[in-house]
Structure 1
């Protein structure tokens, strides 16, 4: 009923953010079978969040009988049943929840977005991320991967100069992710300059605990500010209101599609913009995110595009636009299942 596939996803380029650099990303694929259909879910093992593949597998295996007893329920019902046991491991909860949604969609003979009553008429473009590097290498990455919308990772002493230099090579919109590296005064000053450089918004400019600073940035910034590290779980949505203009929801951090949909609804009720982001992950995780697109203002789902070799096929992103396969559930199929745990 449960199978686990582990992979070391090789990145096309060394990926650097303020947390560090990496060339590979470990990820876990959960395969959940009800006897007739199999659903696939994913969660990347992000080291700076203390997440390991082994830990995720152990957490899910511990409640395998509980999952088996409730596999014919809805994904939302299974999430509520298993959450008390997985609340300390949201990444494991995410992988299981995505697998259950994929399974449920296949069981109902519908892709998830149709199951939710959504359509694909107007979808936000997905950005492509340029990690921190020398300016020359960042420019080269843009030339190697032309895209209509870039997210630029910053967090250096010369952040504004980097954007000024990159701007010389393209006219497309930039989004800036400071990864909590700035102070309030720096963020306000940088925003004024970056606005004239066709930057759309700033993501997590301050440390997640600096709420006083964020109140100041929210009031005086020339650009909208989007919460990332400050918005992890459902209870964070209400707290971000009045401090951020929008939130970036990540399935692994909040525990999957089930809580993410509730978070999206709450953020909209509070008048905030909504973005869903990703980790460095395969098409399994990215395809799950894609079904939320009709509900979103912004999308950051380039994880699979950063990989040298994907392990699955499903939703594709072509020039920023998302193309859905003609399959039910999340629409994914594994390409390589040679590594099994």
Structure 2
């Protein structure tokens, strides 16, 4: 295989704020793996919360470039095992794993969902995320993008007031994500108010390691609770049983499609709802997520919708939430620049 790395700075339509950070741009690394005239594409974004930069990922991958190029791609799973044994960060592994899966599908001439035996006839629609801002600005962003399902980022001292204000302007279903900003008591109290306002579930209200607090929340919350920061890698899935009603899998954090598929299977055996989320990726990362759609209860794959301009073609999300899968095999990705 031949490998090429491309660095991009993605500009967002609006400043994107959550409880712990704000940004106007998102750095992302695109991995291109080529073999026999076909090229597969993968992506990982930088993330200050996990101390991941484009430079750190690039250095890791360059460090084993010769080994990657000498690797015979018999299966994405074997390639993922090889990368794990090389000790790369999960973010770097994700970009490589997504590229290998895309390449593998293109070499086989089939979309990944078909190779895996998934039927795309039924799937959840993605939410559209409204980042933290003034209430006026959040209302403005919501009106700018009429959508049947919104994720509302929270973590302020007036969270319920935000949701009340947004509810005045839409009948859409809401989800809320506190990104670790609440206490158990706040979560329980907020859950009853938020349920009245048409909120479907609460994502990661407590700090990631506060599993004891989550027991109390699970027992008393009026709404289901979905783990995000508490569910990073495969071994975390079992820890979430009894503490959360479901999990949100991020490909960048777990290391790509290969471990994500195992996490989905494990979560289902434990009776946990399954969501896959994005990290403001371009259509490269979003098209990879789309291959998992038939296996999911919920999905947050609006990353490319939040950008001023995209760098790739692939899956298309229409205004009613319907997904148009690409004609290209693999994840169906073609880089535009």
Query: How high is the TM-score relative to the length of structure 2?
Result: 0.98
Classify the secondary structure of the residue corresponding to 1:86.
coil
Structure 2 distance, partners of 1:91, 1:71, is 22
String of CA shifts for 1:130-170, please: whole Å, max 9, x gaps: 00000000000011111110000000010001101110000
* Correspondence list, 1:22-171, <5 A: 22-87=23-88, 89-171=89-171
Partner of 2:175: 175
Partner of 1:327: 328
Partner of 1:339: none
Alpha-carbon offset, residue 36 of structure 1:
2.4
Classify the secondary structure of the residue corresponding to 1:32.
strand
Structure 1 distance, partners of 2:305, 2:298, is 17
Alpha-carbon offset, residue 22 of structure 1:
0.5
Classify the secondary structure of the residue corresponding to 2:279.
coil
Alpha-carbon offset, residue 306 of structure 1:
0.4
Q: State the 4+ residue runs in structure 1 displaced beyond 6 angstroms.
A: none
Structure 2 distance, partners of 1:86, 1:98, is 17
Structure 2 distance, partners of 1:203, 1:82, is 31
Task: Please report the RMSD computed on the Cα atoms of aligned residues, expressed in angstroms.
Answer: 0.8
Partner of 1:252: 252
**Counterpart contact for 1:154–1:176, Cα < 8 Å:** yes
Structure 1 distance, partners of 2:159, 2:335, is 39
Alpha-carbon offset, residue 66 of structure 1:
2.2
Structure 1 distance, partners of 2:84, 2:7, is 23
Classify the secondary structure of the residue corresponding to 1:117.
coil
Query: Which stretch has the larger CA shift, 63-72 or 108-117?
Result: 63-72
Q: Which runs of 5+ in 2 are unaligned?
A: none
Structure 1 distance, partners of 2:187, 2:73, is 49
Alpha-carbon offset, residue 65 of structure 1:
2.5
Partner of 1:261: 261
* Correspondence list, 1:301-320, <5 A: 301-319=301-319, 320=321
**Counterpart contact for 1:175–1:200, Cα < 8 Å:** yes
* Correspondence list, 1:162-241, <5 A: 162-241=162-241
Partner of 2:276: 276
Query: How high is the TM-score relative to the length of structure 1?
Result: 0.97
Alpha-carbon offset, residue 71 of structure 1:
3.1
**Counterpart contact for 1:316–1:322, Cα < 8 Å:** yes
Structure 1 distance, partners of 2:56, 2:86, is 13
Q: Which runs of 5+ in 1 are unaligned?
A: 337-341
String of CA shifts for 1:7-57, please: whole Å, max 9, x gaps: 000000000011211100000000001232111000001122111111111
Structure 1 distance, partners of 2:313, 2:106, is 16
Structure 1 distance, partners of 2:175, 2:105, is 33
Structure 1 distance, partners of 2:83, 2:284, is 21
String of CA shifts for 1:230-269, please: whole Å, max 9, x gaps: 0000000000000000000000000000000000000000
Query: Which stretch has the larger CA shift, 146-155 or 318-327?
Result: 318-327
Structure 1 distance, partners of 2:36, 2:105, is 15
Classify the secondary structure of the residue corresponding to 2:151.
strand
Alpha-carbon offset, residue 318 of structure 1:
1.1
**Counterpart contact for 1:34–1:71, Cα < 8 Å:** no
Structure 2 distance, partners of 1:304, 1:315, is 10
Alpha-carbon offset, residue 72 of structure 1:
2.5
String of CA shifts for 1:89-123, please: whole Å, max 9, x gaps: 11000000000000000010001101111111111
